[in-house]
Amino acid sequence: MRGRALDDALAEAAPAANAPLAAAQRDIAYSACRRLDLLDHLAGALLRKPNRALDALARVALSELIDHPERAHTIVDQAVQAMARDGGSALRGVLNAILRRFIREREALLAAALAIEPIRLGYPDWWIARVRAAWPDLAEDVLAAGNARAPMTVRTNRRRTTADEYARALDAAGIAAAAAAPGALTLARPCPVARLPGFEAGLVSVQDLGAQLAAPLLEAGAGMRVLDACAAPGGKTAHLLESADCAVTAIDRDAARLAAVAANLGRLGLEARLVCADAGDVASWWDGQPFDRILLDAPCTASGVIRRHPDGKWLKRAGDLTPLCAEQARLLDGVWRVLRPGGKLLYATCSIFPDENQRQAARFLNLHPDALPLPIDLGFAHGAAGPLLHRDGQLLPCARHDGFYYALFQKA
């Protein structure tokens, strides 16, 4: 509510040594963020005047009451205790009263709030309008998927195990999973990574199925020089190295995030050249040797992975698109210069907005006559659970995967 990224705040709030507590805090906070507009409406109806001391706690308690009416007594009791611990003992009675009123008038209060379309859909007006304009026949499904809990999919490290072997290891550990695509397994229920067999030994990584498509689409081969621009946190970097004996240069402008790439590669037993630099400022880091393959996973609104970052719906503004699109264009134009003739560049975002995707690709092709668009074939990823939900390189969020966009170009 103060404008900070939720994950950053949670990382400070939750003791790292207490995984169950951290998971519980995350679940409560994420649930509240998914429906923050509904909670704002309810708080406005129940509080006679805004009260900053009550703001966050009242919304969290209301969110839990919506999800768990069977636990109403416990939720109210613990919320009132929390109010007292936070130095608001004088407000205990106020919080108790509004929560008990919600319990009494639950149906009427929720019906009135959900009659307002943006609250029913759970997004700001501008977000809803953009999704409807882009995907008119699928808009409500796409919006609903963004409010659902995300699946947990793992990618097996083909240098250390196979999907079949790892499926047996999961079964032995009492973790139910099903094949999602070659090398990928989706867990029936998410679990802490510490429970995954061989996680610390580098047998497996957690990565959404949609993100796992990047490395196969790029088709990096043995001996190739590969650039992973904007590489952090390193999931796609690792997948490239698992897939082929190629030489990868991974760039990110954020030193802390680049350290996460190094940690991921170290756990998996992989090596890459790591460079802390602005990938678009080619002169500051390029050694003059062209690359055979380039992956540009560009900064974007993250509108396709909003269920994993529900605070993003409320932190982002419609005006954020313009500078993001300008940055994507700058990066695309910059890294294109270091691709060898005949080489391939894969442009990727985790967005569902055409301004960042199809229109960005069209702009790029218009400015670069030596760029040839290549077809995107996602047939290889159709696993036992059925086909992916995609159109023209655009994956739309659904029960199987998040939203991603891919455009593949070859230099003439």
Q: Is 43 helix (H, G, I), strand (E, B) or coil?
A: helix
Determine how many CB atoms are found less than 10 A away from the CB of residue 219: 13
Token pair for 408: 């593949």
Determine how many CB atoms are found less than 10 A away from the CB of residue 243: 17
Q: Is 115 helix (H, G, I), strand (E, B) or coil?
A: coil
Cis peptide before 323 (omega within 30 of 0): no
Q: Is 210 helix (H, G, I), strand (E, B) or coil?
A: coil
Catalytic residue list contains 350:
yes
**Residue 263 CA: distances (Å) to CA of 161, 232, 271, 272:** 20, 11, 11, 12
Contacts of 213 (CB under 8 A, 6+ apart): 378, 381, 395, 404, 406
Q: Catalytic residue among 33, 300, 350, 398, which?
A: 350
Q: Is 254 helix (H, G, I), strand (E, B) or coil?
A: coil
- Residue 410, strand partner residues: 344, 372
Place of tokens 């301004």: 355
**Residue 179 CA: distances (Å) to CA of 170, 365, 390:** 12, 37, 19
Contacts of 238 (CB under 8 A, 6+ apart): 157, 205, 264, 265, 268, 270
- Report the C-alpha gap between 100 and 357 in whole angstroms: 47
Residues classed as catalytic: 350
